[in-house]
Amino acid sequence: MADCLLGLGSNLGDRAGQLERACALLDSHAQIRKARCSSFHTTPPVGGPQGQTPYLNAALRITTSLTPQQLLAVTRNVEHQLGRVRQQRWGPRVIDIDVLLYNGCVVETDALVLPHPRMAVRRFVLAPACEVAADMIHPPTGWTVARLLQRLDESPHYVAIAGVDRQQTAELAATVARLSGAELLPDPRPVRGSAGEREGWSSAQELALIAARREQLTRLAQGTPGAAAGWHVCSYWLPQSLAVARAWLEEAARQQVEQACREAVQQSPLPHCVLLLDTLTPVRAADMPADTAVPPQRPERHAAVMRALAHQTARPNQGPVLRVAAGDLQLAVTELTAAMDAMC
């Protein structure tokens, strides 16, 4: 039997009645045993169209002999029985049932992603989940549900953006800061040397960048006034230097940069969320932005860094990561602003 966590929500009609009926229908399934249901939490709507009424949210911990795909089908059937019609993303709904965790499994298909890709940045999911599943492990982060919720209350409050295109990460950070009222933390750039530096990227340049980023994040941890919403948006992610080192540098230089980066990460606060602008498709040199961190003469390194960066964001104990296609900045803005609202 698999140990599973479900999230339930409703903001139309008899919200409490819908949640109770959903729990009863799930509990009546021959291959599901209900362990415990949380209390109902009233929460404001996050993302989606304006003017929605507040939600009631709950968490249900179950054991089941169903596979993840079978469990998803059962939850969809319950939603259908209760009258849900899927019309608009993040729109109002009679009932919503999400499979959040399934026995520590990681699944990624068109129909199902486990763990749920946004549960770790949603207080309205984590608060009820903590009542029934505080000990369950969220596989990508390696943290318990209780730790995920605790992290939302820790300072400093900031989100980080990872990506191989500086122009895109800077644009995204500036847009999210403007829309959310958060304070922008721009990427400190190393002093440029000779015109020939674009032929490669030296360990000295990366070490200087690590030091400047560490200093900025250390100041943030000590308290930086001025963010109207209490949040900061950082246009870089400190551990990205580990990906750069592995993709670009030779053995001795790589070890030096990796050591400096690990020390800097230990001395700096973790972001509450990392948004990865993801592209694993190599680009032509002519398409590379003029101010990219990747030398335009070496587009194959662009792909190498992206692969190393995707691997780095998948490592545990770094906090939640949201992954968005780098070509859709509007979607990235929507995802990150919604995540910030949901973490408050």
Q: Which of 3, 21, 27, 98 is catalytic?
A: 98
pLDDT at position 200: 55
pLDDT at 204 over 60: yes
The mean pLDDT value for 38-65 works out to: 92
Phi/psi at 212 (5° precision) = -65, -40
Q: Where are the alpha helices (DSSP H) in the chain?
A: 15-27, 68-81, 123-133, 145-151, 166-180, 203-222, 240-248, 251-267, 299-313, 329-343
Least confident of 9-23, 37-51, 294-308: 294-308
Closest CA to 206 of 288, 343, 305, 119: 305
Better-scored residue on pLDDT, 317 or 303: 317
Give catalytic status of residue 98 as yes or no: yes
CB 58 within 8 A of CB 41: yes
Rounded Cα distance between 6 and 116, Å, is: 10
The mean pLDDT value for 139-168 works out to: 94
Rounded Cα distance between 125 and 235, Å, is: 27
Side-chain-facing half-sphere of 308: CA atoms under 13 Å = 19
Query: What totals of helices (H) and strands (E) does the chain contain, helices first?
Result: 10, 14
Mean pLDDT (the chain) is 87
pTM above the 0.95 mark? no
Q: How confident is the model at residue 300 (pLDDT cuts 50, 70, 90)?
A: low
Task: Compute the chain's Rg from CA coordinates.
Answer: 22
Q: Which of 96, 165, 278, 341 is catalytic?
A: 96
How much of the chain, in percent, has pLDDT values that exceed 70?
86
Q: Which of 93, 122, 246, 254 is catalytic?
A: 93
Preceding amide of 156 cis, omega within 30: yes
Q: How confident is the model at residue 66 (pLDDT cuts 50, 70, 90)?
A: very high
Closest CA to 228 of 342, 150, 340, 339: 340
Rounded Cα distance between 289 and 178, Å, is: 23
CB 341 within 8 A of CB 46: yes
pLDDT at position 294: 41
pLDDT at 205 over 50: yes
Rounded Cα distance between 292 and 165, Å, is: 5
pLDDT at 321 over 90: yes
Closest CA to 309 of 95, 162, 204: 162
Domains and CATH numbers, the chain: 2-151 (3.30.70.560), 158-343 (3.40.50.300)
Rounded Cα distance between 88 and 340, Å, is: 21
* Per-residue pLDDT tens over the stretch 92-147: 889 999 999 999 999 999 899 999 999 999 999 999 999 999 999 999 999 999 99
Q: How confident is the model at residue 87 (pLDDT cuts 50, 70, 90)?
A: low
How does DSSP classify residue 47? S
Phi/psi at 301 (5° precision) = -70, -30
* Per-residue pLDDT tens over the stretch 233-262: 999 999 999 998 988 888 999 999 999 999
Q: Please enumerate in sequence order all residues whose Cβ is within 8 A of that of 195, keeping only pairs 6 or more positions apart, or say none.
A: none
Q: Which of 15, 84, 123, 254 is catalytic?
A: 84
Rounded Cα distance between 266 and 262, Å, is: 6
Structure tokens at 287: 């398409």
Give catalytic status of residue 3 as yes or no: no
Give catalytic status of residue 96 as yes or no: yes
pLDDT at position 280: 67
Q: How confident is the model at residue 193 (pLDDT cuts 50, 70, 90)?
A: very low
User: HEC states along 226-267?
Assistant: CCCCCCEEECCCCCHHHHHHHHHCCHHHHHHHHHHHHHHHHH
Single-letter residue type at 16: A
